[in-house]
Amino acid sequence: MTSGEPSWVYDALWWQVYPLSFVGAPVRPTAGEAELLHRLSRIEAWLDHVVELGLNGLLLGPIFASSTHGYDVIDHRRIDPRLGDDADFDRLLTAAHDRGIRVILDGVFNHVGRAHPAFRAVEQDGPEAATAGLFAVDWNGWQPGDPVRANVFEGHDNLVEVNHNSPAAEEFVGGIIRYWLDRGVDGWRLDAAYSVPDAFWHAVLSSVRRDYPDAWFLGEVIHGDYTEIVRNSAMHALTQYELWQGLWHAVVDRNFFELSHALGRHRELLDTFVPATFVGNHDVTRIASAVGPEFVPHTLAVLFTVAGTPIVYAGDEYAMLGIKEERHGGDDAVRPEFASTPTASADLDDTARQVVDIHRQLIGLRRRHHWLHEARTDVLEVNNLSLALRAGRDADAVVTVLNIDDEQVELPAGGAARVAAGSAEIANGRARLPARGWAVLTT
């Protein structure tokens, strides 16, 4: 891969957590310094669950001191006191690494919270502030005491954008990234990477990558030319929103041609980089709410058999429900508090138990066929309500067959002879699926 990702990423499978709500911390606290409460241990209590699923990576959402939801950071080098302190983080990191779980952090480098000391200094001292170069400010006509007219992120007044044309910003961001890599983290998710110039990322990341060649950098990119962004930015991978949208839309719209098209685009990206793939995250409606619990296994079969670095959003393995809404607090439903320890399998309802088992089954299959990380996927047959895919590399192949119709269907088995997951009957080179059935086939 031209992105030059570290070799360990080839086998990486992530569990994503939004820490603040996961541990029950108040996301919109009252004014004033948050009380120090040692809540990170609640994430540590779930690490064995991560291992039991077959995953080996922990993607932490924002953990740095912030005013509210974690993306309005006020100190990138301090753990949010609602989560704990340095000692709590070190224990979590050590506990993860002891289990063979790598850890990456969520880097909010497009903007800072308005209460960040660097911006407070600008509000107080104007263009003479030592940190003035960090922000894009319109000083035309400004007088001491006037509000500072700084650029903000997507209309959010409390999120002040960093001036990425400034050498001071390169030093600021690069220093934070290096600080936590020195502390032992394995890489970074770069939040809102699409809002930051590629040239800025390249200047920072190419320098960091020389000194930390084993670190992985994943950019959150929702739209744009993925290939050009990776080529120009020195990021290893991007979030594959095109495939996510094509997948759940195909099920909801009852039109697998949408997914077939998205998979064609996905295949082209592999000439440049391996994307990070997902069916859910902390910013979107839960997959079980989007497609219905009955069709969650269909989406998982695609997630774990096409190329990519798969990410499971915590709770999706239980078919957890939650609808994202475009309003204040509209993320709350998809970012719930979790129990202090995982629920025993015997205490889960039938749907949750089934979806957890399917996760384990498909993750196990993915780990046995780790070449799927960069496999090319061909569409063997596509109809509105059924689809057959063959993911292969050299002589190795896995065939995924999906049916969302209320009637049984036959699809090409692509040379496969065994049902590795799901339910199907194979005969004469064809796979017969029951109504609303799915299966993953191997040779």
Distance CA 361, CA 188 (A): 28
Contact indicator for 16, 281 with CB cutoff of 8 Å = yes
Q: So what's the pLDDT on residue 1?
A: 46
| CATH architecture label of 380-442 | Sandwich (2.60)
Q: So what's the pLDDT on residue 29?
A: 85
Q: Which amino acid is at 282?
A: H
**Taking each helix axis from N to C terminus, what angle separates 226-233 and 198-211, rounded to the nearest 10 degrees?**
50
Q: What angle do CA 372, 422, 430 make, to 5 degrees?
A: 85
Contact indicator for 380, 414 with CB cutoff of 8 Å = yes
Best CA proximity match to 68, nearest among 124, 38, 17, 108: 108
Q: Edge-to-edge strands of the sheet including 396-403? A: 376-382, 386-393, 396-403, 438-442, 418-422
The alpha-helical segments, DSSP class H, found in 212-338 are: 226-233, 241-252, 256-269, 287-291, 296-303
| 360 CB neighbour count, 10 Å cutoff | 15
Q: Which amino acid is at 260?
A: S
Domain spanning 7-375, CATH class:
alpha beta
pLDDT in tens, the chain (443 residues): 468 999 999 999 999 999 999 999 999 887 666 789 999 999 999 999 999 999 999 999 999 999 999 999 999 999 999 999 999 999 999 999 999 999 999 999 999 999 999 999 999 999 999 999 999 999 999 999 899 999 999 999 999 999 999 999 999 999 999 999 999 999 999 999 999 999 999 999 999 999 999 999 999 999 999 999 999 999 999 999 999 999 999 999 999 999 999 999 999 999 999 999 999 999 999 999 999 999 999 999 999 999 999 999 999 999 999 999 999 899 999 999 999 999 999 999 999 999 999 999 999 999 999 999 999 999 999 999 999 999 999 889 999 999 999 999 999 999 999 999 999 999 999 999 999 999 999 99
The residue whose two tokens read 């000692």 is: 87
Q: Which stretch of DSSP H or E encloses residue 119?
A: helix 117-125
Contacts of 264 (CB under 8 A, 6+ apart): 379
Distance CA 84, CA 86 (A): 7
Contact indicator for 219, 190 with CB cutoff of 8 Å = yes
Contact indicator for 284, 324 with CB cutoff of 8 Å = yes
Tell me the whole-structure pTM to 2 decimals.
Answer: 0.97
The residue whose two tokens read 């990410």 is: 311
Distance CA 443, CA 390 (A): 11
DSSP label at residue 239: B
Contact indicator for 423, 437 with CB cutoff of 8 Å = yes
Distance CA 364, CA 442 (A): 13
Helix, strand, coil proportions of the chain in percent (round to 5)? Answer: 35, 25, 40
Contacts of 350 (CB under 8 A, 6+ apart): none
Distance CA 393, CA 228 (A): 25
Distance CA 241, CA 221 (A): 8
Best CA proximity match to 267, nearest among 211, 212, 307, 313: 307
Domain ranges of the chain: 7-375, 380-442
Q: So what's the pLDDT on residue 34?
A: 76
| 282 CB neighbour count, 10 Å cutoff | 21
| 418 CB neighbour count, 10 Å cutoff | 10
